[in-house]
Homo-oligomer: A and B are copies of this chain.
Amino acid sequence: MSLLALLDYAAVLVFAITGALVASRAQLDIVGFAFIACLTAVGGGTIRDLLLDRNPIFWIEKPSMLGVAIVAALVVFFTAHFLESRFRTLIWLDSLALAVAVAAGVGVAMSQEQSAAIIIVMGMITGCMGGLMRDVVVGQLPLVLTQGELYATAALSGAAVAVLLAPYTQGTLYPLLACAVTTWVLRAGSLYFGWHLPVYKSTPPKS
């Protein structure tokens, strides 16, 4: 299996779990779990493939991707009640999925020899859009828009690191690894230590 396919599988697996956890919070049935798991798992990569005119879409080429997402949904359906906090599990797994999916998006765009700007954007889209659709569909504010956390910033930084490293390495293994690690460390640091950028304050400056 190629590195790109491996990244796509890994992102699909972890995002599917987060989707199923959201379904558990909405108390859906098993098909509802699979539905949201699949939407979350392949959402970002699907938008990436549509935008880059990749044909066929990655999960139409490899329907086993959907199988992975469905199995993940089944496992969550029968085991989620063992978790102490489904929400904490959800945001931590989401951080992992984000890191892998950003790398998957960056890798695909690099394999198409897109420009640096488009590589970074494709990393961000692949990383952020699946979770965004998951949250919008169930009527929650998307994690990517949570105030005072690094999310899009983590994705941006990871993708940028990959772009900066790529000229100095052979192949894309190390840049993509660095991308995933950077993204995850920033996101995890934001969740654990509260790292954040200054947020917009609407108060006017003192005069």
Q: Are B139 and A81 neighbours in the complex by a CB distance under 8 Å?
A: no
Select from chain B the residue with minimum beta-carbon distance to A20: B200
Closest B residue to A203 by beta carbon equals: B81
Stretch at the interface among A8-16, A52-60, A99-107, A170-178: A52-60
CB pair A202–B136 under 8 Å, yes or no, is: no
The answer to whether B31 and A197 have CB atoms under 8 Å apart is yes
> In the complex the two chains form, what is the Cα distance from A150 to B77 in whole Å?
17
The answer on a CB contact under 8 Å between B55 and A199 is no
> Chain B residues near A80 (CB, 8 Å)?
200, 202
Query: Smallest Cβ distance from A137 to chain B, in angstroms?
Result: 6
* Cβ-closest 9 pairs across A and B: A29-B197, A63-B117, A31-B153, A35-B152, A31-B152, A24-B200, A29-B199, A53-B55, A27-B199
Chain A positions within 8 Å of B, measured between CB atoms, are: 23-36, 38, 46, 50-53, 55-57, 60, 63, 66-67, 77, 80-82, 86, 114-115, 117-118, 121, 124, 128, 132, 136-139, 141-142, 144-145, 147-148, 150, 152-153, 156, 196-205
